[in-house]
């Protein structure tokens, strides 16, 4: 038998670990595809607390999983929603933890104007079903607001038009909250502006507005899309301050127009809805003042004439006192005889009553009361003794229920129950420990089974030469010395190896030759 036998088919194939094979597949897929663009319908969408977005892209036959990392999702112009048709750009990769492939999305956009309008209709139906478009929930606008809050870009022509129209009609205090009116930052900044104005304190250092105007000039559907976001519509619906939406031109319609308390066709029209014309209001007030003065004068004239008419129907003051004066005289004539008769009647009654108040009668009444009191006093002591005895018996009956033996028995029962629970807990802990020990032993046996040492024990060997693993006959012929490792030790062949420091046995070879 030769020192090195020719390898047989199937006995010298390299062995890959699961991780190595998964990594090789990952490199092949990422190297083959790189960046790709995929068009499909968004299926399941999951947004865990980590901030990442997990979704499915599908067509009529296949589904591919996708992931959008947290940093990328915050920069997207359009957030993916279930049922939306999109074009996703990213790179295809694999996830070895679940043996699946997926696309890491770096950008996602609706697939054309039709997808945007379909998404808009879907949001409109959802918000309408929640009642956010109902006219009953819309608040009336204040007739003459003291402070007006404007949410718009500070650098555009919109804010200049609003301020110019307010100055012409009725100057008011204006608070401007600058926001981006298009792009990815539009929706979150508009939401923060509406919520920020509502969070202000009325009458504070920075007073709370009485009316809000959300304004933007005209543009395409993509330019106005920030005002079609669900978050903007919900913030406008939740605003406690009446809100006017003035987004785009008269023909442009966004979601915020449906939930706002009033829609203006243009930003300039929003300023006209916010305040009246000062000159017209002053003229109306002057007209009303003149009408009020005229009506007051006419009313006073009518009431004066009516007073004179009613005064002519009244009798003279002297005649009003004639009847009462005569009645007073007759009553004075009857008073003296009536007093004398009353005194006489009371004197007779006093004489009748005083006749019965003799000393003998009073003494007899006192003797009767004294005897009744003595009888009651003799009955008082037995009644008190019976009450005390009854309460003492009730107290002793209750005291007998609180026996120390019963308390001790209850304590013993509870102690026995605690001991049983402690014993069950100890047994459960021991069973759990045994289960863990058995699992560890099984894993250790598995480790021994998968180790290349067990392969050596079945008759194989590892060949090394010049400090490296030999994998072929050509390398074995060139080596100055061969070292063969068996299950029970190592053998040197072909020369004397240089002396070297003893080192612990190396780990399993990456790709060795097994003989």
Per-residue pLDDT tens over the stretch 55-90:
988 877 788 889 999 888 888 877 888 877 888 888
Per-residue pLDDT tens over the stretch 121-161:
888 888 889 988 898 989 999 988 999 999 999 888 889 99
Q: What is the mean pLDDT of residues 387-403?
A: 83
User: Predicted confidence band at 113 (pLDDT cuts at 50, 70, 90)?
Assistant: low
User: Which one is predicted more confidently, 210 or 408?
Assistant: 210
Contacts of 116 (CB under 8 A, 6+ apart): 110, 221, 222, 225
Per-residue pLDDT tens over the stretch 98-108:
778 888 898 88
Contacts of 87 (CB under 8 A, 6+ apart): 37, 38, 39, 108, 109, 110, 111
Domain assignments of the chain as residue spans, ordered by start: 18-111, 139-276
Asked whether 412 and 420 are in contact (CB, 8 A), the reply is: no
- What is the pLDDT of the chain when averaged over all its residues? 83
CA 280 from chain centre, in angstroms, equals: 48
Beta bridge partners of 257: none
User: Starting at the edge strand that comes first in sequence, how are the strands of the sheet with 173-178 ordered?
Assistant: 173-178, 147-152, 211-216, 243-247, 262-263
Q: How far apart are CA 496 and CA 193, in angstroms?
A: 84
What's the distance, Cα to Cα, between the start and end of the chain in Å?
13
User: Which one is predicted more confidently, 83 or 444?
Assistant: 444
CA 442 from chain centre, in angstroms, equals: 48
Per DSSP, which regions of 169-315 are E strands? Answer: 173-178, 211-216, 243-247, 262-263
Tokens of 260: 């706002």
Q: What is the mean pLDDT of residues 202-231?
A: 86
Asked whether 63 and 43 are in contact (CB, 8 A), the reply is: yes
Q: Top-level CATH class of 139-276? A: alpha beta
Q: How far apart are CA 94 and CA 26, in angstroms?
A: 5
Q: What is the mean pLDDT of residues 164-185?
A: 89
User: Predicted confidence band at 33 (pLDDT cuts at 50, 70, 90)?
Assistant: confident
Global model pTM greater than 0.85: no
CATH of domain 18-111: 2.40.50.140
* CATH topology identical between 18-111 and 139-276: no
Of 84-88, 263-267, 315-319, 483-487, highest mean pLDDT: 263-267
Q: Residue 208: what pLDDT?
A: 92
Asked whether 281 and 170 are in contact (CB, 8 A), the reply is: yes
DSSP 290-310: HHHHHHHHHHHHHHHHHHHHH
Q: How far apart are CA 339 and CA 67, in angstroms?
A: 114
- Show the CA angle centred on residue 120, arms to residues 266 and 83, nearest 5°: 165
Residue 331 exposure: Cα atoms within 13 Å on the Cβ side: 6
User: Which one is predicted more confidently, 303 or 350?
Assistant: 303
Q: What percent of the chain has pLDDT over 90?
A: 22
Q: How far apart are CA 459 and CA 470, in angstroms?
A: 18
Sign of CA dihedral 501, 505, 510, 512: positive
Q: How far apart are CA 269 and CA 465, in angstroms?
A: 91
**C-alpha distances in angstroms, 29 versus 25, 32, 103, 362?**
6, 5, 11, 129
Backbone angles phi, psi at 83, to 5 degrees: 95, -10
Q: Residue 1: what pLDDT?
A: 41
User: Predicted confidence band at 497 (pLDDT cuts at 50, 70, 90)?
Assistant: very low
- DSSP element (H, E) containing 64: strand 63-68
Kindly report which listed range (167-181, 361-375, 486-500) carries the lowest average pLDDT score. 486-500
């Amino acid at each position: 038998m030769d020192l090195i036998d020719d390898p047989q088919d199937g006995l010298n194939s390299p062995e890959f670990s699961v991780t190595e094979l998964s990594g090789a597949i990952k490199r092949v897929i990422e190297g083959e595809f790189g960046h790709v663009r995929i068009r499909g319908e968004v299926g399941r969408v999951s947004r865990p607390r980590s901030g990442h977005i997990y979704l499915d892209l599908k067509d009529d036959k296949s589904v591919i999983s996708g992931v959008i990392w947290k940093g990328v999702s915050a920069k997207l112009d359009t957030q993916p929603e279930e049922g939306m048709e999109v074009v996703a750009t990213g790179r295809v990769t694999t996830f070895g933890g679940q043996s699946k492939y997926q696309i890491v999305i770096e950008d996602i956009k609706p697939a054309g104007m039709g997808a945007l309008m379909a998404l808009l209709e879907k949001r409109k139906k959802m918000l309408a079903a929640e009642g956010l478009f109902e006219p009953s929930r819309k608040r009336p606008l204040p007739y003459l607001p003291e402070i007006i809050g404007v949410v718009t870009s500070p650098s555009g022509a919109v804010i200049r038009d609003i301020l110019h129209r307010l100055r012409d009609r009725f100057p008011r205090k204006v608070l401007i909250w600058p926001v981006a009116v298009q792009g990815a930052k539009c929706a979150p900044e508009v939401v923060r502006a509406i919520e920020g104005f509502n969070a202000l304190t009325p009458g504070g250092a920075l007073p709370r507005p009485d009316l809000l105007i959300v304004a933007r000039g005209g543009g395409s559907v993509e330019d106005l899309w920030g005002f079609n976001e669900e978050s903007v519509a919900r913030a406008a619906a939740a605003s406690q301050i009446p809100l006017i939406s003035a987004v785009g031109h008269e023909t442009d319609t966004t979601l915020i127009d449906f939930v706002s308390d009033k829609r203006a066709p243009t930003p300039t029209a929003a300023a006209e809805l916010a305040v009246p014309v000062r000159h017209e209001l002053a003229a109306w007030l002057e007209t009303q003042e003149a009408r009020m003065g005229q009506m007051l004068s006419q009313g006073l004239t009518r009431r004066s004439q009516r007073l004179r008419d009613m005064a002519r129907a009244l009798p003279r003051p002297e005649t009003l006192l004639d009847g009462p004066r005569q009645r007073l005289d007759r009553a004075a004539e009857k008073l003296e005889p009536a007093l004398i008769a009353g005194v006489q009647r009371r004197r007779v009654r006093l004489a009748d009553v005083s006749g019965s108040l003799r000393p003998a009668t009073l003494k007899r009444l006192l003797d009767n009361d004294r005897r009744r009191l003595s009888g009651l006093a003799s009955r008082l002591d037995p009644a008190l003794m019976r009450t005390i005895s009854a309460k003492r018996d009730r107290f002793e009956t209750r005291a007998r229920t609180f026996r120390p033996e019963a308390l001790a028995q209850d304590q013993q029962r509870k102690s026995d129950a605690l001991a049983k629970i402690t014993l069950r807990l100890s047994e459960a802990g021991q069973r759990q420990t045994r289960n863990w020990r058995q699992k560890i032993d099984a894993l250790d046996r598995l480790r021994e089974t998968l180790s290349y040492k067990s392969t050596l024990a079945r008759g194989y060997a590892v060949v090394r030469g010049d400090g490296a693993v030999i994998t072929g006959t050509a390398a074995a012929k060139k080596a100055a010395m061969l070292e063969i490792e068996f299950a029970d030790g190592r053998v040197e062949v072909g020369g004397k190896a240089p002396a070297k420091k003893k080192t612990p046995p190396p780990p399993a070879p990456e790709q060795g030759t097994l003989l």
